[in-house]
Amino acid sequence: MINFTIGPVQTDLETQKIGAEQIPYFRTPEFSSVMKENESLMCQMFDAPDNSRVVFMTGSGTASMEGGVMNFFTQNDKVLVVNGGSFGHRLVELCQIHEIPFTEIHLEYGQPLTQDILIQFENKGYTGMLLQLCETSTGILYDMQMVGDFCKRNGIFLFVDAVSGFLADNFSMKQMHVNAAITGSQKALSLPPSMSFTVLDSEAQKRCVANKVKSMYFNYADYLRNGERGQTPFTPAVATLLQLNDKLKRIAQNGGVKYINGVIKQRAEYFRAKIKHLPFKMFTPENATSNCVTALLPATEGVSAYRIFEIIKDEYGIWVCPNGGELAEKVFRVGHIGNITEKEIVQLIAAFDDLLKRKLI
């Protein structure tokens, strides 16, 4: 099978090799030094301010979304949550569950967040803001510089779910005034699912330490304390952390984030240029689309997006990414992250061409 989903994505051989080895014991100085290196490389790649730290969470991206909501905010906060798709909706649900007072900015799915929308919330006493960098369910890329400038002007703590956007889209905690941001192992880092990572600036760390979190596993103050000696409070997904170390070092040695950003961007542009003759419409405006993923609307009357996913899977041996919920029949997605070759992209487009010939799209 060829995998064009948005996670888990195709891993490379080096990552697979580490995954085939025995798992080492981890309460050792040797493993601690790997973790210290992971922390410093991760901060570098998020372009985080000095003295930033990383919480290494064993749990998928949602664990770090929830951990962030629990540790950075309290009932005394008043936060803005952007809901422009299923991941934004998840942030809304997390604020509800943890009783964080919030205002939802509900966007029409596939549409960008604009200055006109943000202006309504200027000087209104908000203390926090939560949103995705890339809302993976629609492929929209939010203008994080605009959001960060708004937050800075208003003294708002900014927590960004960059789970899918990290490495695919331009992102800098420093420049965009982001206090905390997360990513996950199975997205552009192209590791197996199992872990997620939060980069915290000093303000975010302060909030964790001051906050009395009603949880043992999600107590970030405990992670920060243990992290000082390169450890985690509980047994982490050790193999993933070794794969992470190898991956981060390879990225650093091969042109850094800028280079990998460029590769993913080029891949997305190549794909989008090569499907112009097909009866698909882009679900998001071209100038506000993430490099991570292309969301497509079949334009032919009566063609189901979900059915395309099924046929491509069963008859062509390729996974594209179906949508859930209200978009299931309308939209499917093609991911551009992971270890994907041009030959594989050509194969996917040939499969679409064949569907066209068979009058299935």
Ligand X SMILES: *Cc1c(COP(=O)(O)O)cnc(C)c1O
Binding site for ligand X (CB under 6 A): 7, 60-62, 65, 87, 132, 136, 161, 163-164, 184, 187
The distance of closest approach from Cβ of residue 232 to ligand X in the complex, given in angstroms and rounded to an integer, is 18
The C-alpha atoms of residue 287 and residue 35 are separated, in whole angstroms, by: 38
Q: For residues 35 and 163, which CB has a smaller minimum distance to ligand X in the complex?
A: 163
The C-alpha atoms of residue 46 and residue 248 are separated, in whole angstroms, by: 12
The distance of closest approach from Cβ of residue 90 to ligand X in the complex, given in angstroms and rounded to an integer, is 7
* Chain residue whose CB lies nearest ligand X: 61
Q: For residues 61 and 128, which CB has a smaller minimum distance to ligand X in the complex?
A: 61
Q: For residues 60 and 170, which CB has a smaller minimum distance to ligand X in the complex?
A: 60
Q: For residues 59 and 148, which CB has a smaller minimum distance to ligand X in the complex?
A: 59
The distance of closest approach from Cβ of residue 243 to ligand X in the complex, given in angstroms and rounded to an integer, is 16
Locate the DSSP E strands across the chain. Answer: 2-3, 53-58, 79-83, 102-106, 128-132, 134-135, 140-141, 157-161, 180-184, 195-200, 280-282, 293-298, 318-319, 321-322, 332-335
147, with CB counted inside 10 A (0-12, 13-18, 19+), is buried
357 to each of 199, 216, 296, how far by Cα in Å? 48, 57, 19
Q: Edge-to-edge strands of the sheet including 102-106?
A: 53-58, 195-200, 180-184, 157-161, 128-132, 79-83, 102-106
* Burial state string for 106-116 with b = 16 or more CB within 10 A and e = fewer than 16: ebebbebbeee
The distance of closest approach from Cβ of residue 228 to ligand X in the complex, given in angstroms and rounded to an integer, is 27
Q: For residues 39 and 66, which CB has a smaller minimum distance to ligand X in the complex?
A: 66
The distance of closest approach from Cβ of residue 276 to ligand X in the complex, given in angstroms and rounded to an integer, is 26
The distance of closest approach from Cβ of residue 354 to ligand X in the complex, given in angstroms and rounded to an integer, is 29
Q: For residues 177 and 187, which CB has a smaller minimum distance to ligand X in the complex?
A: 187
